[in-house]
Amino acid sequence: MQRLAFAFLAGGLFGAGLFVSGMTDTAKVQGWLDVFGDWDPTLAFVMGGAILPMALAWALTRGRAPLVGGSFPTRSEPRLGRNLVLGSTLFGAGWGLAGLCPGPSVASLSYGGWPHWLFFAAMLAGMFAAPRVRARLDKALPAG
Amino acid sequence: MWNAIPLDWIWGLVGGLIIGTGGAVYLLANGRIMGASGIIGGLVDGSGRGSAAERLAFLAGVVLLPILLKPLYRPFETHASTNVAVLVLAGLLVGIGTRLANGCTSGHGVCGISRLSLRGIVATVFYILAGGVTVALLRHALEVI
């Protein structure tokens, strides 16, 4: 129960922050990516603002355990495989195309109207297909 | 000169601090990394079945808080494309790409960079480059978005 309450609180802060920061406005996101146009630096402020409390949180994990029990995520080995690079490139292309990424696409469902629902549905379909895409890639190009 | 643009930066910084506080709560209380694509993707492909309730509670918060805040806030447009092909293609790319890369702007960007994760930094460089190239090509070269 405690775990669910904290998850709801964390999600609520995430949604509130995305809303307040303007990151559910696709024009602001595309404006940040648009270095050859009328560049909008807002996203850099959002990223910088978000990284500050997170860096503090990572520092606080040292020598402690999560409040509701269990253990903190271990640092994954720095494997820079094909999936990381190819996946991030595909993601970036979609992000630039619509100005939406997974977090803001959820936060904006209540007020973005049908385009946000359509994007969200297509994103879910992509996530559903991803394990098969990954398996096919591994078969065609066994690179890890 | 003190127009709407610097105010947007301040809202961006405030919103960013709130986002990071959410990530800090998820990490310090539940021991989880706040990555939106991972939280949603685990529900979609079944890999997160064991923690489905926790994922749904998180997503409920993400949807609900903007509903509560909206009446207090200056109205704004999300300026989303109304081109069905653009929306579907973008959604598929974001869905497949983030799951292939195991993270998006929140997981690799906010949570990864803040712990100086090499994977997070490399992922962020690639998705920003790809996003920048996409906007440059489609907006300035082809003029379709």
pTM, whole model, 2 decimals?
0.95
Q: Do A15 and B65 touch (CB under 8 A)?
A: yes
Instruction: Tell me the per-residue pLDDT of A87-119, one tens digit each, with 9 for 90 and over.
Output: 999 999 999 999 999 999 999 999 999 999 999
56-95 of B, contacting A, C-beta below 8 A:
57-67, 69-70, 73, 76-82, 84, 86-95
- The CA distance from A82 to A66, in Å, is 32
A78 band by pLDDT with thresholds 50, 70 and 90: low
On the question of pLDDT at A40 being above 80, the answer is yes
| Cβ atoms within 10 Å of A89's Cβ, excluding its own | 21
- The CA distance from B66 to A105, in Å, is 12
pLDDT of residue B142: 85
Pick A141 or A48 by higher pLDDT: A48
Instruction: Tell me the per-residue pLDDT of B78-105, one tens digit each, with 9 for 90 and over.
Output: 999 999 999 999 999 999 999 999 999 9
Work out the mean pLDDT of chain B and round it to a whole number: 94
Chain A residues closer than 8 Å to B111 by CB: 54
* pLDDT average, residue stretch B60-89: 92
On the question of pLDDT at B1 being above 50, the answer is no
Cα atoms found within 13 Å of the Cα of residue B13, Cβ hemisphere only = 5
Among candidate residues A91, A83, A94, A90, the one with its CA nearest the CA of residue A135 = A83
Q: Do A101 and B94 touch (CB under 8 A)?
A: yes
Among candidate residues A48, A125, A110, A16, the one with its CA nearest the CA of residue B87 = A125
Pick B73 or A126 by higher pLDDT: A126
Q: Do B23 and A14 touch (CB under 8 A)?
A: yes
Shortest CB distance from B28 goes to which of A19, A67, A98?
A67
pLDDT of residue B3: 55
* pLDDT average, residue stretch B26-50: 97
Please report, rounded to a whole number, the percentage of residues in chain B having pLDDT higher than 70.
Answer: 95
On the question of pLDDT at A130 being above 60, the answer is yes
Number of domain units in chain A: 1
- The CA distance from A102 to B104, in Å, is 7
Q: Do A21 and B84 touch (CB under 8 A)?
A: no
Dihedral (CA of B132, B92, A29, B142) sign:
positive
Asked which of A109-123, B36-50, B66-80, B84-98 is least confident by mean pLDDT, the reply is B66-80
- The CA distance from A40 to A33, in Å, is 8
On the question of pLDDT at B13 being above 70, the answer is yes
* pLDDT average, residue stretch A34-46: 94
Please report, rounded to a whole number, the percentage of residues in chain B having pLDDT higher than 90.
Answer: 84
Q: Burial of B49 by CB count in 10 Å (0-12 exposed, 13-18 middle, 19+ buried)?
A: exposed
On the question of pLDDT at B62 being above 50, the answer is yes
ipTM of the complex: 0.95
Q: Burial of A110 by CB count in 10 Å (0-12 exposed, 13-18 middle, 19+ buried)?
A: middle
Asked which of A19-33, B42-56, B64-78 is least confident by mean pLDDT, the reply is B64-78
Interface test with B, best of A4, A13, A61 (most B CBs within 10 A): A13
The owner of tokens 């990284």 is A51
- The CA distance from A57 to A105, in Å, is 25
Buried b (16+ CB within 10 A) or exposed e, A116-131: bebbbebbbbbbbbbb
- Residue B45 DSSP code: S
pLDDT of residue B66: 95
Task: Determine the structural domain holding residue A131 and report its residue range.
Answer: 2-140
